[in-house]
Amino acid sequence: MRKKIIAGNWKMNMTPTEAVNLVNTLKPLVNNEEVDVVFCVPAIDIIPAMEAAKGTNIHIGAENMYFEESGAYTGEISPKMLEDAGVKYVVIGHSERREYFAETDETVNKKVLKALEHGITPIICCGESLTQREQGITIDWIRQQIKIAFLNVTADQAKTTVIAYEPIWAIGTGKTATTEQAEEVCAAIRACIGEIYDEATAEAIRIQYGGSVNAGNAAELFAQPDIDGGLVGGASLKPDFGKIVCYNQ
Ligand code: PGA
């Protein structure tokens, strides 16, 4: 039985002061032992958010990292820095990183390998555009993203990772994929992992749905056999996030 994982993706929101306030507001609302709860926050918020979350079930994650240990990479955050800060999760290859910061399947793969090397669980994002969905190439596209992301990742490592399926057309648009659409792709991702590795790896890996998840649609999405939680943007900044995390109560 896979444990559900529900992660907030704060994106470029919340100053350090606001971050502490938000953690304090959400703390009593996200107390659900049955799910792993992660707040992926801007780099500058990681340390204060961790302090605020101390003693709770909230894990603080990062939204990105670079694939080198250290060096002349002005402005980047290294896996070593995240590890030292106690970060256990990092979002890799979000569609906004791919669109605005030129990330590719190849850089995603490098980052995934580095995160694993440092004991950080990558939340590996994939997803199709509206054009791709209309062209009927969604599954082919996602399979390619997954195959490249997992290059040189061992089965034992793959089992510990999290995949977030986020159709780009559903992100921040209020337009959620239907439960059937979300389940279809998450099942295809699991099948793809089964092909790359084996049945045990496919059964172990956790696959989230992301894209306009809210308090009203979370329970139905998370009840699908291949959807093991969600990656939540807009709604993770509001008390509603508590309802999403406690979808089963
Ligand atoms: P959204 O964002 O929930 O605001 O659609 C999801 C995401 O980008 O991870």
Ranges assigned E (strand) in the chain: 4-9, 35-41, 58-62, 89-92, 121-126, 162-165, 206-210, 229-232
Residue to substitute in 64, 91, 125, 231 for testing ligand 1 pocket (most ligand atoms within 8 angstroms of CB): 231
pLDDT in tens, 138-150: 999 999 999 999 9
Question: What are residue 62's DSSP bridge partners?
Answer: 41, 90
Q: Whose CA is nearest to atom 2 of ligand 1?
A: 233
Hey, where are the domains in the chain? 4-245
Q: How far is CA 142 from CA 62, 97, 137, 165, in A?
A: 23, 17, 9, 9
Q: Which atom of ligand 1 is nearest to the CA of 164?
A: 9
Which of 38, 166, 168, 244 best tests ligand 1's pocket when mutated (most atoms within 8 Å of CB)?
166
How does strand 89-92 pair with strand 121-126? Answer: parallel
- Does the beta carbon of 233 sit less than 6 angstroms from any atom of ligand 1? yes
Give the CATH H-level superfamily of domain 4-245: Aldolase class I (3.20.20.70)
Q: Say what the pLDDT of residue 76 is.
A: 98
171 within ligand 1 shell (Cβ under 6 A):
yes
Phi/psi at 163 (5° precision): -110, 135
Catalytic residues: 94, 166
> Is 176 a residue whose pLDDT tops 90?
no
Cα dihedral sign for 111, 101, 241, 2? negative
Q: Per-residue pLDDT tens for 57-101?
A: 999 999 999 999 999 999 999 999 999 999 999 999 999 999 999
